[in-house]
Amino acid sequence: MTHQINKIDRSERKIKIEIDGVYHLFLYSRDFKKQRLNMLEEGYELSDDELSVLDKHVIERGKKRIMFLLGRQDYPKKQLQDKLLREGYIIEHVDEILQPFLEKAIINDAQLISRRISGYKTYKSRLEIQMNLQKKGFAKDDVKALIQENMTWEDELASATHLLNKKFFLKQFKMDEMTLKQKALGFLSRKGYSMDICIKAYESFYETISKT
């Protein structure tokens, strides 16, 4: 079976190649200097073996790209998928590029979510953590389940109390009790804390400042 190269777009730094009527991959100018790729031109009929060589080249290049990215920081699976797609990889290649990293748990969303919850829970509410992690590309259901598993009601109360002490300990001297309470509860509510957490945290905070 053969596969026709319908179009080679050299208008950008990346050379985009259409095969069998659809966009299939991109190459760089330096790729065309490789002995097994220098035959590429519009109208050329690729054999299955030649197409396989192209695919393998692109997939190996994509794996090196992922290794580079993960060497700088951790990423959720979806964020890496989105990066590769934006760069011009097709979804079939993206799946093959990421597969070995997933199998070896180098990309491990659950582990990464748990670590981030552990870091956030001393100063963020459950809701704020959930919104933050979802924006970073983690799946909503995974985030909610792992917050439930890794963050207790007491953890959230402690973080809310910590925030009040940090923001209002000095400001208490500049306002009356009613104003302080309204501002403190409003502050925690905007941070995503539930009303029962807000009230309990304020009571704890007020007990502390009453002793000063």
Q: What is the mean pLDDT of the chain?
A: 91
**Percentage of residues in the chain having pLDDT higher than 70:** 95
pLDDT mean over 87-116:
96
Does the pLDDT of residue 14 top 70, yes or no? yes
Q: What local confidence, expressed as pLDDT, does residue 146 receive?
A: 97
Neighbours of 202 (CB within 10 A): 20
Return d(Cα 30, Cα 11) in angstroms, integer: 15
pLDDT band, very low/low/confident/very high, at 36 (cuts 50, 70, 90): low
Per-residue DSSP letter, 29: G
Does the pLDDT of residue 39 top 80, yes or no? no
Distance of CA 139 to the CA centre of its chain: 9
pLDDT mean over 13-22:
91
Does the pLDDT of residue 35 top 60, yes or no? no
pLDDT tens per residue across span 166-198: 998 877 667 888 999 999 999 999 999 999 999
Q: What local confidence, expressed as pLDDT, does residue 124 receive?
A: 96
- Within a 13 Å sphere around the CA of 24, how many CA atoms are in the beta-carbon half? 20
Alpha helices in the chain (DSSP H): 48-72, 77-87, 91-103, 109-120, 126-135, 140-150, 153-168, 177-190, 195-210
The least confident of 33-37, 51-55, 57-61, 204-208 is: 33-37
Does the pLDDT of residue 34 top 70, yes or no? no
pLDDT tens per residue across span 103-156: 999 999 999 999 999 999 999 999 999 999 999 889 999 999 999 999 999 999
Q: What local confidence, expressed as pLDDT, does residue 212 receive?
A: 67
Q: What local confidence, expressed as pLDDT, does residue 165 receive?
A: 92
